[in-house]
Amino acid sequence: MASDFDKALYLVKERLKQIRKQVPPRRFDKKKPAEVEINKFWYDGKTVDRIMLVLRSTGCSHYKNKEGCSMCGHYDGTTETPVTSAEYIAQWKSVVNGKSLNLNKTERFDINNFPVLCLYNLGSFLNPEEVPRDAARKMFESIAKFEGIKKVIIESRAEYVTKENLENIRLVNNGNIEVGMGLESINYEIRELCHHKNLPDLNIFSNAIDLIHQYDFRALAYVNQKPPFLTESEAINDAIATAVFAYRAGVDAVSIEPTSLQAHSLTDHLHQMGQYQVPWLWSVIKAIKGINEKINQNGSLDLRIGGYFNEEILSGSQGVASGTERNELFPHTTSGNCNHCTDRVIEAIKESNRTYNLNVLFNEKDCDYCTPIWKEALKVKDSRSIPRRIIEILGGK
Ligand code: SF4
Ligand SMILES: [Zn+2]
């Protein structure tokens, strides 16, 4: 007889399959990036301009194999047929020469003005099935020629962090390169059922950190705060435990990613069913506080909060998949408190991201309107096991 864990895993995967089937046809120009934006970021002791280039891409193999993670809606922005090396290179060039950017006629674009470059592909940059090796190599060879670019951030699932894939980049670029990997949770049930991460063995993650350092890259862990099926308190504790594990396993940085709602994700679907709420911003601050207390790095902790930057969009909103003008990658709902304090707390989070001064978060004053409600939310308990919660919510039993 199937265990509750197996039943729950099956239900999550089947529901994800149904949700992904609702994505409209994805017809994108493969020579244009999905998104280019500029925001402020902390680098080398100061606030600098960061450029974030999201390549229009083939997309994450986890989607193809197992329907992807529960909180992720990147699928909507990916292509129906693979993006070729030549198309990736064309996208990169169109950014460097400014042709794919919305600039006014007098504005001159120079990528050297951006010390930090995020080169994202809505999946794993190090997976050759998503970004062919020669395309990855050529882009990094080109990046090495721009002296103004001091640091590059890419993303990859841990299993694609291999000698071959790292060497492919190192051969042409010996700069500061950071690899962000989704860890999400160190709790097996939470990671495999709630996040649907398909990272059954944490050693894959730990080994990836070692390899990253062997090739002199930096390791960044993404920790999603509040996947579905958890209470507010469980989600805070899980984010703290996971980030602490990541630092102790050797990562150089952690980014806490409070769940936001993207179309065609399981989290969004459950939200519509009345079974999911994004985390409170107070909870995000509480998690950051908990991590900071446990990992003391004499004030030099590289701890970020994903999704909170003042961005200027230079290119994006092809909007084809959603059938609207809205960029198909943007979440429609992010973490929040109440109308009285959400804006100021978000400002504080943005400031902490651009200054790495966590005290701006810890100094945030309680809100007379919503702090008491949040404190009540923290008291909510669920005595059911995680698989039982899933079976009841998705299986109707
Ligand atoms: S979160 Fe990352 S690993 Fe998961 S489906 Fe999305 S792109 Fe793939
Ligand atoms: Zn409030």
What average pLDDT does this structure show over 296-313? 78
Q: For residue range 157-185, what is the model confidence (pLDDT) as tens digits?
A: 999 999 999 999 999 999 999 999 999 99
Closest Cα to atom 8 of ligand 1: 60
What average pLDDT does this structure show over 217-233? 98
Ligand 2 centre from 283 Cα, in Å? 12
Task: For ligand 1, say whether the CB of 62 is within 6 Å of any of its atoms.
Answer: yes
Structure tokens, 220: 């960044």
Percent above pLDDT 70 for the chain: 94
Q: What is the pLDDT of residue 321?
A: 38
Judged against a pLDDT cut of 90, whether residue 80 lies above it is answered with yes
Judged against a pLDDT cut of 70, whether residue 317 lies above it is answered with no
Q: What is the pLDDT of residue 377?
A: 97
Instruction: Give the residue carrying structure tokens 């794919």.
Output: 100
If one counts the domains in the chain, the total is 1
In angstroms, rounded to a whole number, what is the distance separating the alpha carbons of residues 179 and 212? Answer: 8
Average pLDDT, the chain: 92
Judged against a pLDDT cut of 80, whether residue 102 lies above it is answered with no
Q: What is the pLDDT of residue 300?
A: 78
**9-18, 119-128, 251-260, 348-357: the lowest-pLDDT one:** 348-357
Ligand 1 centre from 380 Cα, in Å? 29
Pick the ligand that lies closest to the CA of residue 373.
2
In angstroms, rounded to a whole number, what is the distance separating the alpha carbons of residues 150 and 1? Answer: 55
- Domain region containing 158: 4-395
Judged against a pLDDT cut of 70, whether residue 226 lies above it is answered with yes
Q: What is the pLDDT of residue 100?
A: 85
Task: For ligand 1, say whether the CB of 374 is within 6 Å of any of its atoms.
Answer: no
More confident residue, 381 or 356: 381
Task: For ligand 1, say whether the CB of 74 is within 6 Å of any of its atoms.
Answer: yes
In angstroms, rounded to a whole number, what is the distance separating the alpha carbons of residues 97 and 142? Answer: 12
Q: What is the pLDDT of residue 297?
A: 67
What's the pTM value of the predicted model, to 2 decimals? Answer: 0.95
Q: What is the pLDDT of residue 327?
A: 61
In angstroms, rounded to a whole number, what is the distance separating the alpha carbons of residues 304 and 226? Answer: 16
In angstroms, rounded to a whole number, what is the distance separating the alpha carbons of residues 301 and 16? Answer: 36
Judged against a pLDDT cut of 90, whether residue 311 lies above it is answered with no
Q: What is the pLDDT of residue 193?
A: 98
CATH number of the domain encompassing residue 346: 3.20.20.70
Q: What is the pLDDT of residue 330?
A: 72
More confident residue, 300 or 53: 53
Q: What is the pLDDT of residue 324?
A: 45
Pick the ligand that lies closest to the CA of residue 370.
2
Q: For residue range 325-344, what is the model confidence (pLDDT) as tens digits?
A: 456 667 888 888 999 999 99
What average pLDDT does this structure show over 273-285? 96
